[in-house]
Structure 1
Amino acid sequence: MERLFNLRELGTNVRTEILAGITTFLTMVYIIIVNPAILSAAGVPFDQVFIATIASAVIGTLIMSLSAKYPIAIAPGMGMNAYFASVVATNGVSYQIVLGTVFLAGILFLLLSFTKFRETLIHSIPASLKYGITSGIGLFIAFIGLKMAGIVVPNAETMVSFGDLHQPVTILSLFGLFITLILIARKINGALFIGMLVTAVIGYFSGLLQFDGIVAAPPPPVFFDFDIGGVFSNGLYTVVFAFLLVTIFDTTGTMIGVAEQAGLMKNGKFPRAKSALMADAVATTVGASLGTSPSSAYIESSTGVAAGGRSGLTAFVVAILFMIALFFSPFVSAISSLPAITAPILIIVGCFMMEGLAKVNWKSFDDAFPAFAIILTMPLTSSIATGIAIGFITYPLMKLVSGKGREVHPILYVFGVIFIIQMIFFPAH
């Protein structure tokens, strides 16, 4: 182990790496509950999402561990799962078609990992758009969490209004939210997971949660349950681009952030970047072929780094723990069926994703407004793709009329024109 993962050179040891892996797993294991809860509501069979979530996490994290050798874990990303469900709902298409968009995005990500276009794309898109996209997704999934909890409900006159606090699920959701906030404020490792368990215990004793079992043999996987032809017949090109773009930004930003925290950056560069991005691209492609939304590097990996993790052994431990989780599908299924357990996580993760707003230059209107437009339109239209399109149209336009057109990379002008054409002639959510 020491030689395989260069533990001595990195100033770490097996015990530290194992503890770091356990720490990372506990902070992100909520995804095996939240992801099936969100995607099964969109029509994907629960067992299929459960297997796909764990399979993509294991495969992506193992590649990260053994090839890139970073203490970074991979799993289906938050935000993209909620967007997946909204595409199914707003476009009236089957989940197999939306899985087709994820598969195509994964293939494109794989191909881009071998070229310099990926780097050109990342560098061409300004910080205000990147932060606007992340923050918009944060508001989007927090809004979904509020609706799941019954804290906000539909209203014919005002679109939404405050919910009924006498409803048992809403009461339990609020309790789960506050107990998890307390755990986070106290800096407890695994606060999200522990908060879910505490809420589940209360739900069980209050009769809102029932178990048919805890442990069972893993359900059989379902392969290639996607419809690529439906992607083209329904004109879901913007959805493919949205999945691709957000996955690239989210993954790249998280990987660099965690690597910097661990002191693994070399002269400002990210070594073995191709292998690291390949881990995410493969996980996304495999996940789509089995039945889940795109994967991403998890910022929760930073908790493992804080616990001393410096090598791929940390990620290897995370992958092993995800494998063990395969045998707990009845337990996960029961917890996923009660919105009060998963809704607080969506709300809190939404808050985490707002951090980038502090980095937007709000004093520069031509930078601020496109970010604002993205943040505004994503939750109100229930479409990440629409928010991205609005941002890519308004940013080059604002810069052009402000006399700063030369600051904009030519790629953004191309994308701006494409999005205008798409929104006028081929509208898709």
Structure 2
Amino acid sequence: MERFFKLSENNTTARTEMVAGVTTFLTMVYIIVVNPAILTSAGVPFDQVFMATVISAVVGTLYMAIFANYPIAIAPGMGMNAYFASVVATEGLSYQAVFGAVFLAGVIFILLSLTNLRETMIYAIPDSLKYGITSGIGLFIAFVGLRNAGIVVPNEANIVGLGDLGNPVVLLTIAGLFMTLVLFVRKIKGALFIGMVATGILAFITGQISFSEGLISAPPSPVFWDIDIAGVFSNGLYTIVFAFLLVTIFDTTGTMIGVAEQAGFMKNGNLPRAKQALLADATASTVGSAFGTTPTTAYIESTTGVAAGGRTGLTTIVVAVLFALSIFFTPIIQVVANMPAITSPVLIIVGCFMIEGLAKVNWKAFDEAFPAFAVVLTMPFTSSIATGIAIGFISYPLLKVANGKGKDVHWIMYVFAVLFLLQMVFFPVH
């Protein structure tokens, strides 16, 4: 263990790594409840999503531990799951076809991770669009949380309106949200998980949930290859594939750099073993889609494990083991996932985390600000991350050319702008 993970070289001990692993797990374990809660709304069976969530987390996290030796955990990402559900609902597609899009995005991500093209894409796309995309997804999933809980409801006069605040689910959601927010401002580790537990206890006391099926059981059987790759081509889901790929690349790369900087892994601006780390996420996304879940990403919650002293892959080994053990608690997780008041506060708070990048947008430079604004505005109002990305990629080079700064735009952006324009005109995603 010492020689494999190089504990002494990284100034850590096995005990410290294990504590860090438990800390990281507690801060991100909410995903095994929230992910099934979102994807079941798209018709994916609960047991399938639950097992796929755990499998992809275990595969990606173990890969990260063994081949990259970093304390960075992998699991299905927030935002992409809500986008998946919205695509299935608005396009009238089968979830199998959309899983096909996720699978192809994962395969492309693996290929990009083996080349320098990934770095070229990241360099070519301006920071303002990256911040706009992440922030737009944040608003999107926060809106999903508000809608699922009934805090906002359809309204004929102005599209959406305030829900019935006397509804027991709405009241429980608000109570859970405030309890979790208090835990956060008090800097309690695992605040999201603890907040869900507290909300669940309150739901049990008030009779809104019950555990008639017991607390533990044998794990469900995983479902493999319930996907339709041919449906990607027959339905022209190329923009969907690109949206999954693009967001995963940005999200994973940004998170890995953030965690690596906190842990002191960065060397002259570069991340050692970056290729192995990116392959962990790409592999997990591909495997996860084959079992029935959306793209994975590196989790920013890994910073809590780093803060607890985690410096090697032993931290993520512990995370993977704990995820694997969670499969025996299916009855509890299924009950919790079916109560939106328990999961919605997580969506709302994570949405808040994701819009912090807006502070880095140069709002005084209109040709930088408006494309970011357009992305943020479009994603929640159209319930489409792909549409938001397309609007941003079209408007950015257009405004730069109009402002006499066309030479400052990377040629890849012009290619994307033309492709997105053609797609929106001839193959629109509604």
Name the TM tier (shorter chain): over 0.9
2:383 is aligned to 382
Cα shift at 1:353: 0.1
1:110 is aligned to 110
Give 1:345-360 correspondences, 5 Å limit. Answer: 345-360=346-361
Secondary structure of 2:50 counterpart:
helix
Give 1:276-355 correspondences, 5 Å limit. Answer: 276-355=277-356
Please say if 1:84 is aligned against 2:84. yes
1:46 is aligned to 46
Distance in structure 2 (CA, Å) of the matches to 1:358 and 1:313: 35
2:134 is aligned to 134
Alignment RMSD, CA only?
A: 0.5
Cα shift at 1:172: 0.1
1:396 is aligned to 397
Distance in structure 1 (CA, Å) of the matches to 2:245 and 2:186: 36
2:412 is aligned to 411
Distance in structure 2 (CA, Å) of the matches to 1:416 and 1:155: 35
Cα shift at 1:206: 0.7
Deviations 1:137-168 (A, max 9, x none): 00000000001111111001110001111000
Secondary structure of 2:148 counterpart:
helix
Distance in structure 2 (CA, Å) of the matches to 1:34 and 1:213: 20
Distance in structure 2 (CA, Å) of the matches to 1:2 and 1:331: 37
Distance in structure 1 (CA, Å) of the matches to 2:322 and 2:88: 31
Cα shift at 1:228: 0.9
2:251 is aligned to 250
Any unmatched runs of 5+ in structure 1? none
Contact 1:5-1:313 at 8 Å conserved across structures: yes
2:284 alignment partner AA? A
Any unmatched runs of 5+ in structure 2? none
Distance in structure 2 (CA, Å) of the matches to 1:381 and 1:359: 25
Cα shift at 1:2: 1.4
Distance in structure 2 (CA, Å) of the matches to 1:330 and 1:94: 27
Cα shift at 1:428: 1.6
Distance in structure 2 (CA, Å) of the matches to 1:261 and 1:213: 41
1:221 is aligned to 222
1:68 alignment partner AA? A
Deviations 1:196-237 (A, max 9, x none): 000000101111111111111111111100011111111111
Distance in structure 2 (CA, Å) of the matches to 1:91 and 1:235: 11
1:259 is aligned to 260
1:58 is aligned to 58
Identity %: 69
Secondary structure of 1:296 counterpart:
strand
Contact 1:239-1:385 at 8 Å conserved across structures: yes
Secondary structure of 2:4 counterpart:
coil
Distance in structure 2 (CA, Å) of the matches to 1:424 and 1:194: 47
Instruction: Count the aligned residue pairs.
Output: 429
Distance in structure 2 (CA, Å) of the matches to 1:347 and 1:151: 11
Contact 1:225-1:289 at 8 Å conserved across structures: yes
Give 1:156-235 correspondences, 5 Å limit. Answer: 156-211=156-211, 212-235=213-236
Contact 1:71-1:309 at 8 Å conserved across structures: yes
Distance in structure 2 (CA, Å) of the matches to 1:230 and 1:427: 17
1:147 is aligned to 147
Contact 1:71-1:311 at 8 Å conserved across structures: yes
1:239 is aligned to 240
Deviations 1:65-107 (A, max 9, x none): 0100100000000000000000000100111011011001001
Cα shift at 1:289: 0.1
Cα shift at 1:108: 0.5
Secondary structure of 1:320 counterpart:
helix
Distance in structure 2 (CA, Å) of the matches to 1:275 and 1:373: 35
Secondary structure of 1:219 counterpart:
coil
Distance in structure 1 (CA, Å) of the matches to 2:426 and 2:246: 22
Contact 1:150-1:170 at 8 Å conserved across structures: yes
Instruction: Compare 391-400 and 226-235 and name the one that shifted more.
Output: 226-235
1:187 alignment partner AA? K
Please say if 1:125 is aligned against 2:113. no
Distance in structure 2 (CA, Å) of the matches to 1:221 and 1:54: 10
Secondary structure of 1:264 counterpart:
coil
Distance in structure 1 (CA, Å) of the matches to 2:421 and 2:153: 33
Contact 1:235-1:428 at 8 Å conserved across structures: no
Secondary structure of 2:109 counterpart:
helix
Distance in structure 2 (CA, Å) of the matches to 1:5 and 1:274: 18
